[in-house]
Amino acid sequence: MSVENEPARIAIDTSASGMLEPSLPARIAAKPVPNRIAVLLAFGAIWFIWGSTFLAIRYAVETIPPFYAAGTRHLIAGSLIISWCFIKKLRPTRAQLRASFITGFFFFVGGHGLVHWAQQWVPSGIAALLIATEPIWVFLLADIVDRKWRMNPWLASGVVLGLGGVALLLGKGQFSEPRMKTGAIVVLISALSWAAGIIYSRRSKLSGHPLLLSALSLLAGSFMLLVIGTVIGEARGFSFSSVTFRSWAALAYLIVFGSLIAFTSYAWLLEHYSPTLVATHTYINPIIAVLIGWLLAGEKLSLNLGIAAAMVIGAVILVQRGTALLERS
């Protein structure tokens, strides 16, 4: 197959929202100063839209089976992005196709599929806070894979604070029924799956256009999600007539705003601003998710949740700071 991808080498990461994100190289040439309104809209998209996707997932899985909901979302988004890539004459290599099934599994089956399943019971704000711990798991898994222990005061404080926040979120009295606690643990497993996907994508060192790599992973992940949903019986008893307008609207929102508009904004911002500035969405998203869940869905706010949220968000900031210092040393 022909290769007409950009030669820049990239790594693929995910946000708290679960969206596949290309970490573009720092050596990209400086761009002209963008329009201020466009910048505000782009940051608003990655801050507020991605923060709102957790409630949208909760609404989508109310009447759409979770693996089918996730698979449909990624199938449509991936098809639109790959169509754009083909128009631009971008063609995948065999190595990219093989890797897409691995990243698609970690990011979209182990990641999104599990989150969609868990949010049948887990409030969107709690799900967002648990997913926000992803940088902690990335750091710990990277050290395990590399077989070396790297630590500094920032990282140590962040890991301890983050694990304490998770313990508080999963503590006694936080959930009204056993399925909620099981779901919360499954959300944590999804965060670990995303972290594993990030470690794999960094070590695989595939080069190519970030949108092409993302589209391939989206399509591979959607295929596996739909197959798994069918195998576990999601088709039994399901009918389109039983899907409510709110679930259809939520699924459309996830596709158009969560997967297309916000992702495009993210990629555009990375071309003009430092990854550190753009990464502010990782600790703004859970705040937005908690507030939107409270305002629109009546999700419970408590002192324990507030303290846990502060601990998790503080931990993310500390871990990002500590990781940046390690990379400079």
pLDDT for the residue 174: 65
Q: Which two tokens stand for residue 101?
A: 């099934």
Helix and strand counts by DSSP (H, E) for the chain? 15, 2
Q: Are the C-beta atoms of residues 127 and 308 closer than 8 Å to each other?
A: no
Asked if residue 4 belongs to a domain, the reply is no
Amino acid 56: pLDDT: 96
pLDDT value at residue 21: 46
Greater model confidence, 120 or 31 = 120
Q: What pLDDT digit, counting tens, does each position of 302-319 carry?
A: 888 899 999 999 998 888
Residue 26 has pLDDT above 50, yes or no: no
Say which DSSP state 35 is in: P
- Burial of residue 80 (CB within 10 Å: 0-12, 13-18, 19+) is middle
Q: How far apart are CA 137 and CA 139, in angstroms?
A: 5
Joined tokens for residue 129: 């806070």
SS3 assignment, position 20: strand
Residues of the domain holding 302: 35-328
> Quick check: is 91 in a domain?
yes
Residue 28 lies in a domain: no
Q: Kindly report, residue by residue over 57-88, the tens digit of the pLDDT.
A: 999 999 999 999 999 999 999 999 999 999 98
- The confidence score (pLDDT) of residue 23 equals 44
Q: Which residue is listed with tokens 């088709």? A: 235
- As a whole number, the mean pLDDT across the chain is 84
In angstroms and rounded to an integer, the radius of gyration of the C-alpha atoms of the chain is: 19
Summarised one tens digit per residue, pLDDT across range 229-238 is 999 999 998 8
In a domain, 26, yes or no: no
Q: Dihedral of the CA atoms 267, 250, 53, 121 (nearest 10)?
A: -150
What size, in residues, is the chain?
329
Q: Are 113 and 105 in contact (CB under 8 A)?
A: no
Report the domain count for the chain.
1
Give the residue-averaged pLDDT of 42-53: 92
CA distance 225 to 106: 11
From the CB of residue 229, how many other CB atoms can be counted at a distance below 10 Å?
23
13 within some domain: no
Token couple for 173: 């009295």
Using CA of residue 176, residue 179, residue 183, residue 189, what is the dihedral sign? positive
- Residue 310: the pLDDT is 92
pLDDT in tens, 103-157: 899 999 998 999 999 999 999 999 999 998 888 888 888 888 877 777 888 888 9
Task: Please check whether residue 15 lies inside any domain of the structure.
Answer: no
Question: Amino acid letter at 142?
Answer: A
The answer, yes or no, to whether residue 18 has pLDDT greater than 70, is: no
Give me the phi and psi of 223, to 5 degrees please.
-60, -45
pLDDT at residue 144, as a whole number: 85
User: What SS3 class is residue 174?
Assistant: coil
Mean pLDDT of 10-15: 44
Residue 173: which pLDDT band, with cuts at 50, 70 and 90?
low
| Residue 27 domain-assigned (yes or no) | no
Instruction: Identify the three-state secondary structure at position 149.
Output: coil
Q: Which pLDDT score, from 0 to 100, does residue 172 have? A: 65
Whether 217 is covered by a domain: the verdict is yes
pLDDT tens column, 188-203:
999 999 889 888 887 7
97: Cβ contacts below 8 Å, ≥ 6 apart = 216
Mean of pLDDT values over 25-40:
65
Give Cβ neighbours of residue 35 (< 8 Å, ≥ 6 apart): none
